[in-house]
Each structure stands twice: as C-alpha cells, then as structure tokens.
Chains A and B, each alone.
Chain A
Amino acid sequence: MSMKLTRLISVCCAALALTACEDPEPKLKGAPPDMRRLTETQYENVISDVFGIDVDVAGRFDPLRRTSGLVAVGAREARITPTGFERFYNAAKTVSERVTDAEHRATLIPCTPADAAKADDACARAFMTQTGRLLFRRPLTTAEADYFVKAAGEAAGANGDFYRGLTTSLASMLVTPQFLFVADTTEADPADKSAERLDAYARASRLSFFLWNTTPDETLMAAAEKGELNDSASLARHVDRMMASPRAEVGMRAFFNDFLALEDFDTLEKDPLIYPTFTLEVAENAREQIVKTIIDHVSRGEDYRDIFTTRKTFLTRALARVYRVPIDRTDNGWISYEFAADQNRYGIQSQIALMALYAYPGRSSAVRRGRAVRELLMCQKVPDPPGDVDFSLFTDPNSPSKTARERLTAHINAPACAGCHKITDPIGLSFENFDGAGQYRLTENEAHIDSGGDLNGAPYTGPEGLAQALRNDPATASCVVNRLYSYAVGRSVEQDDTAVVNFLDKGFAASKYKFVELMRKVALSDAFFTVSKPNTTAAASGEMAVATAH
C-alpha cells in the first residue's frame, strides 16, 4: 500500500470517526406511552414562558415521589388527590386573575371585546385557542375550543364582565390533565404499520422538557406542525438550537437538582446551637453552589468525572464563613473561587451541600454519606436497615468511643449490620473531617479523626483520595449516563434499555466525558422518542375529555 493511500485512509477514518465508524444505536422496543405530571419548577417555567409572569408555587403542590433515583420518574406515577386538586385550582386562579387583570390583558389577550360587560365568543375563542395551544402543547381540538369558549361566555354573562369570563375559563384550562400532565400522544408509525410512534407534538414536548425543563417555544411548535421533528437532520438542527440557548442551562440545572436529590434542602434543619454558622442563607447558597459548580464545569466542556476532584467553585459571603475563607466581595453575590490544595475541598462531594444534607441536625453521619455516594453518584442500591436493628451501640451517649469510626466499628460487628455497612462506611468515614454542617474539622471529641477509606477494596486517604477514587471509578460516569437517559425518557431503565445505555456510555467516554455532548446524544437518539404500543387507549390519548377535570 502506498504511503499516500495509507494517509488518505487515515484521514477518512478520522473524518468519519464520529459518524460512520461509530457503532449504530441499538434498537429497543420502548415502553408504552405514559403521562408525567408537571413538577413545581416546570409549572413555574411554563407559566413564565407562556404569560411572562412569575408565580411562586414552591411547596404548594403534592410532592412527587422519587422513584428509581429520580423525581422525573416518579412524576409518571403521580395522582391528583382532592386536596392536591384544590392546590392546583388555587394556583390556576391566581395565574388566570393576573393574566386577565387590567395590567396584563392588553398584552396577553389578542383582542378587545365589543362590550367588556358582555360575553364575546369571537374574542374568547381567539384567546383560548392561542393560549390553549401553548398550555396543552398542541392545538386545541374543536370540542375543547368550544368547551372553553362556552365556559368563558357563561361566566361573562353571570358576572357581567367579559374578562371575568376569561378568568374562569383559563383557570379551568389550567387544571385540566392536558395541561398538568405531559402525555405521550402517539400516532401510527408510517415505517411499521404495526407500531406506534410519538406524534410531532409529543416529540416537541419531550425535547423541550428534557433540554429546557419547560414547554416548547413557538419555533419548536411550528417545527412540530411542519413535521420537521421526524426528520433526523431537522431534528439535529433544532436540538443544536436548543442546546445553544440560555435555556439549556435551565434544563441542565433541573437535571442535576433531580440527580442529586436537592429537593431535600426544602426540609433540611440544623441545630443552631451546635452549628450556629449554618443559617438559612447558608443552606440556600449551598444548594446553589453545588449546581453552579457542576453547570460551570460541564458548560466549559470539562471532563464530567472531574467534578469529583475539582477545587473550583463559587462562594458567597455566607458560604465563605462556613468554609473559613476570606471573600473578595462586599455584597451577597457570588464570586468564583478555587480552594487551595491543603483546604481539602476536592469535588462536589466535599461541598457543604452534600455534607450537610447527608448528616443529622446535630452531627455528621458516615452511613448516610456513604449511602448517598453509592446511591446518588454511583447508582448503586443500598438496602434499608432491618427493622429490628440495635442502634444502642452507636448512639449510646456514654460510649467511650470518641469518633464515628470507633462507634461504627462497634456497631457493624453485629452480623445483621455488617453487610450494608461494609459498602457505606469505608466511604462515609473518609468524610468525617466534615462535621454535620460541612465545616472542616481535625478532631471529634478531642480525638484525631482518621479519614482513611476504601472504595471497592482500593484504599485511599482523606478527601483527596476519595476524590480520585470516585473520579476513576467507572460507576460514577455510567451512573450519570443511566440517570440522564432515565430522566429524558421519564421512566426507570429496564432490561430493554441496557444496550442503549451502554451505547450512550461508550459515546460519553469517546467524547472525553463531555456532559453537554451526552445530553445532545440522548436528545438525538432514537431511543429518546421510542414508545411501544399503548397498554390502554385512554392512558395515552390526547383526546381526554375535558369534563374529566371538572
């Protein structure tokens, strides 16, 4: 073979490396179409995007149950209780009153009634169909449009006020399942008459909630209407547009909030007498710090695995107090900061957020922290303790054991406990230099803290050793792939998905663990849109009767 030909082949292979030379994506059967209830954040994002008004609903809706490691998966199991419905109705009433009030109606309602004291079906139809398309993420059916126009007319007549009519009708729209649940509406697959596929609007919603954590924008809706989202080249163009948007950060934030179970901050309490530095401001800042650190890291195209070793982060004055570092900022804003090597803050796992979350109100917890690393960062399930476990050896206030390591050693020698503690404690004990509020310490009860540990049998020393061990363990990278895929499709990863997850895992490694690339790859994968045939017609129908919400 001539030198020239060898070079040519080499160049060709390099050029094709990301396309032709890559393994094809495995096919999967997919799961039946489903519905997922909007999270509180999604609800707020949608209202803000559709109406341009902010509404704070935090803590007002029934909480979604974390399932298979993600709230996004639990959202498909959500049911609305009578009390929960009342809360949705209250939020809907607040939103609809603001949309139709004198301040907003001129910009949000596309027409003016002939007589503001009477019903005006034409104007009501214009508003309800325009708004309904954005809220239902698809055009309203004729029956739906008729229903909302009629509701607006009846309420306007009863109150002698056109806008009161719109308020009532919009509020009723905001409590429909079509709005509150993102449904996988399907259509017959033209390529396989026996199969179903997501219809264009469901594809748009899936993309939008995955990449932006909100409803599709006008461009995406228009693309869905034109059928562009079924074409791979057009789809790639839209995904790239969405990834380039500032809203992509909103999407990534939503994922990492879910991935790290940061909603637990909503109920985090610390004993102020034991940890006076851990104020409400510190808690709020700590939650933001870990997300900011990750988003900054992955947005710069850094190796995802380095989030476990990075010393780069962001600080506020409140956080600086707890980390015991001077801060070059006079107000309560953020600064970028890099910890010195001897400050022992390596990786997100050593930040206040996870250290404080996985501890007790008045002390640290090696077990909780070890379990959190296994379950959150490595996607490994740790069983709950048996119901009859005897904690007295560990919690005895008169115990001669001064450190958590000594107390746990006494406790885990009990055969019933040893199995789980062997997988949590070696990791958790290496966090013992961080107290229950995440503050660095050298001693506990005046005894020196031994922060040595081991991960899967490989010993290491202290926070830096743990950081390297986590970074180099294949489980941490494959965990984020697994969770991101699960988050994207809104269901747990099943046997059928294994090949696709492995495919994404390999792609992640090939991209040098660039998280943004992984997100793009998931969004462009066939698996992301694949559904099997519905189990029941009602569950996936986009034609659910409006009356069911009333």
Chain B
Amino acid sequence: MRVRSQVLSFASAVVLAAPCFAAETGIVHDRRMGFVVKDWFTAVYETKFMDECPEGVSIANDEVWWRRLSRADKDEQTGNGMIQALNRVGVSFLRGRNGEHVCLEPDSVDDPPQRIVEGKLSFGVNLDGDADGKASAKSCAHENFTHPDGTTGIDNQMYRLVGCTYGWRKDVGTVDMNANEMRNTSGLGLILIDVSEVDNPRNDDDVTVTFYRSVDQWVQDSKGAPLPFQTFNIDVVDGKPRYGDSIKGAIKDGVLTTKNGDVRLPWYGNYVFMHPVIRDLTLRLDIDPSGERATGMVAGYYDVEAFTYYIGSLGAVVPVNGINCSSLIKAARELADGYPDPKTGKCTALSSAFDLLAYAAYIRLPAAAATKTAER
C-alpha cells in the first residue's frame, strides 16, 4: 500500500506539473502545440572529397545538348554566338527526337545515365523494416545504407538519386533553397504540424500529429526567421480542412517521434503547387527546450509520379542546378524501392528523407476540424 501511495503521489505530481509547465512557457494551449515548417531540405550526406560520387556530379541538360551540337549547329542555335548563354537554355529543353520538351517527355532522348550516389552512408530511417534490402511485398530490391551513427538498414533511394546532382548539394544547390525561399516569402503552401492531446510538451507517450496547410503568411524577425508563436489559420474547403492527415506519436525528452502513416502534404516551391502523398511517413522533431523552434526529419516513400511532375515543372531551375531531367526521371523509376505496382511489379515510390526546421506556431482550426482531430 505504501509503495502504491508513493506511485500515485508521483503520478499526481506529474499530471499537475505538466499543464503548469506548458501554460507558463506558452508552448501548449488546449493540449495542443504546433509548428510551421520553414526549411525543407532533401537529406544529403556529403563527404569532403565527394567520395560518394566517384564519377563526379551529373551532367546538366543544356550541357548534354551543347556537347552534341556540331559547330554549324552551334552557330545556328546561337545566332552565330550573339545569343546569351542563358537564352540558349530554353532551346536546350526542346531537343527531343521530334522537338519534344525533354523535361516533360523524358523518354524522347537517349542521354547518358544519371550519376548516382555510390557511397555507403546516408541519413534517413529503415522504412521497410529489413536489413538486407531484398525485395518484399512492400519493396523492390535495393541497397541499404548505413547511417553515419552506425544504424544499418537505412532506406534512402532519393539520396541515391539526387545526391550527385549540384541542385541538391549543400551550399551550391538551389532546388530546395529556392523552394523554401519562395514558399516562405509568399506564404503559399506553408506546412503546419499540429501536435494534439499533449499533456506534457517534453514527455508524453501518446500524442496525435496532424499536417495542415496555412493560409497565413508569417512575420519575420530582423534575421529573416519567422517569429515564433504566431497564429496560423488552416486551409479550409466547405468548412473542412483541405489537408489533415494524422499519425500517432510520442514525445520523449523533448523529441517527438511518430509512427508511420500515409500523409498528403501541401507543397509550394519553384513555382510548383503540389500535394504529394508521402507513404509510411514518419516524423522526428527535436523540440528546443524554449519551445520556440524544432529541428528534425521527415522520412517516407515519395511517389515517383509526383517527383516526375515536380522535375518537369522546374523550368529555369533545371540548368542552373545541373539537372538533366531525362536522366534523372529515368533513374527515379529504376531506383524506386517502395510500393510495387501490383500489375507490373515495378516500384512506384522512392524511400526518402528530408531535414526540417520549424518554428512554434498556434494553429487555428475550424470547429469541425478540431472535432475531427479529437476523434482520431
């Protein structure tokens, strides 16, 4: 009895302490805390001497085009050299066999294969649950990575696909950077992460994580970062959230980790609106003790068709990032390791991982959405 009383007493103290802590710091309101995503970068593991890309970086679309032209063709295509290089870029897209746009018709040319990552280390998680990368009902055969921390069985075919393309390399690539910049300065398609059923923002073994799209722009501080704890309204259609997929999770010592679930996410960047479904999405979010910001990772299977659509829509982003649409898209189909098509057996999704930086936010739900979330 004495032991039981002590347990009860301890449990009561925890219950009482939790809302008190939350209210004092403003992190949690009505058992909910939220975040707005500022940065979304494809997780790319890089070594100092680019050992992961022994053949070097991939050859850009316009470069492939240019190399194949005869001197006479070059004169003709460039107005005897009078047309600026940047203006030639548009012409280089239309080099399909019958003049097709190669980013929209990637099979219309036979280009050198995409240079892909050949290293053994990668960020990400073990999405398919196996350690050997063999084909299964849920996946196609692929080579697993080892995480830099030594964890084996890491699935990240997206990294294998784009890791040797300038556009996704740290400091030089602008694919993700441009997308973030564009999304953050326009306020279009900001991803909101709502964590509900929170009793303690640092330790809680049962929370629900829901993803929404914001319709509000944020206010930035003098360094360009969003001010934390702004209120965001979500995108609503006929009184219901346009997005709103949920997965269960838990928080331990300030680190939120979710189970896996299919999540349709809002997306805007590089002038492209999308709503890709990331299958088996799992989120890890390391919440700063101040509650003001969080860093973490989203991992899951990224649909190849969505990726193809995105690459095909990048336009001027392609040449400046050393992308060859045709080679990249063809490689994406080959490297896909998740969700085999029942008819063809070919996989339809790429295991992937993305680094996140998010800021504390209050997410304002319409009454119906709040009920829906609570029911989950």
B223: chain A residues at CB < 8 Å are: 273, 276
Tell whether A344 pairs with B24 under 8 Å between CB atoms, given A272-B222, A321-B219, A330-B216. Answer: yes
Name A277's contact: one of B24, B29, B221, B231 (CB within 8 Å): B221
Q: How far is the CB of A1 from chain B (nearest CB, A)?
A: 60
> Does A343 sit at the interface, judged by CB under 8 A?
yes
B233: chain A residues at CB < 8 Å are: 330
In the bound complex, do residue A324 and residue B25 qualify as a contact, i.e. CB atoms below 8 Å apart?
A: yes
Q: A311-336 CB contact bits vs B (8 Å, 1 = yes)?
A: 00000011011011111101000000
Name A342's contact: one of B23, B222, B227, B363 (CB within 8 Å): B23
Bound-state Cα–Cα, A321 to B218, Å? 11
Name B23's contact: one of A273, A276, A318, A340 (CB within 8 Å): A340
Name A326's contact: one of B19, B24, B221, B362 (CB within 8 Å): B362
> Does B364 sit at the interface, judged by CB under 8 A?
yes
Bound-state Cα–Cα, A385 to B257, Å? 55
Bound-state Cα–Cα, A344 to B23, Å? 9
> Does A440 sit at the interface, judged by CB under 8 A?
yes
In the bound complex, do residue A326 and residue B364 qualify as a contact, i.e. CB atoms below 8 Å apart?
A: yes
> Does B225 sit at the interface, judged by CB under 8 A?
yes
Q: A431-444 CB contact bits vs B (8 Å, 1 = yes)?
A: 00000000010100
Sort chain A's interface into a size bin: 20 to 34
> Does A279 sit at the interface, judged by CB under 8 A?
yes
Residue of A nearest to B23 (CB): A342
Tell whether A323 pairs with B364 under 8 Å between CB atoms, given A276-B222, A342-B20. Answer: no
In the bound complex, do residue A318 and residue B219 qualify as a contact, i.e. CB atoms below 8 Å apart?
A: yes
A324: chain B residues at CB < 8 Å are: 25-27, 229
In the bound complex, do residue A276 and residue B20 qualify as a contact, i.e. CB atoms below 8 Å apart?
A: no
Bound-state Cα–Cα, A340 to B20, Å? 11
> Does B228 sit at the interface, judged by CB under 8 A?
yes
> Does B152 sit at the interface, judged by CB under 8 A?
no
> Does B230 sit at the interface, judged by CB under 8 A?
yes
Q: How far is the CB of A511 from chain B (nearest CB, A)?
A: 36
A279: chain B residues at CB < 8 Å are: 219, 227
Q: How far is the CB of A41 from chain B (nearest CB, A)?
A: 29
Bound-state Cα–Cα, A321 to B29, Å? 13
Q: How far is the CB of A250 from chain B (nearest CB, A)?
A: 31
B227: chain A residues at CB < 8 Å are: 276-277, 279, 321
Bound-state Cα–Cα, A343 to B23, Å? 6
In the bound complex, do residue A328 and residue B26 qualify as a contact, i.e. CB atoms below 8 Å apart?
A: no
B230: chain A residues at CB < 8 Å are: 317, 320-321
B24: chain A residues at CB < 8 Å are: 342-344, 440, 442
Bound-state Cα–Cα, A442 to B223, Å? 25
Bound-state Cα–Cα, A272 to B220, Å? 11
Q: How far is the CB of B254 from chain A (nearest CB, A)?
A: 15
Residue of A nearest to B21 (CB): A442
Tell whether A326 pairs with B225 under 8 Å between CB atoms, given A342-B23, A440-B24. Answer: no
Known: A326-B231, A342-B19, A342-B24. 10 other contacts (CB 8 A): A273-B223, A320-B229, A321-B227, A321-B228, A321-B229, A321-B230, A323-B26, A330-B216, A342-B20, A442-B24
Chain B: residues with CB nearer than 8 A to chain A?
Answer: 19-20, 23-27, 29, 216, 219, 221-223, 225, 227-231, 233, 362-364
User: Could you show 19 A-B contacts with beta carbons less than 8 Å apart?
Assistant: A277-B228, A317-B230, A320-B229, A320-B230, A321-B219, A321-B228, A324-B25, A325-B29, A326-B29, A326-B362, A326-B363, A326-B364, A327-B362, A330-B216, A330-B233, A342-B24, A343-B23, A440-B24, A442-B24
For the complex of A and B, the 3 pairs showing the least CB-CB separation, nearest first, are: A324-B26, A276-B221, A326-B362
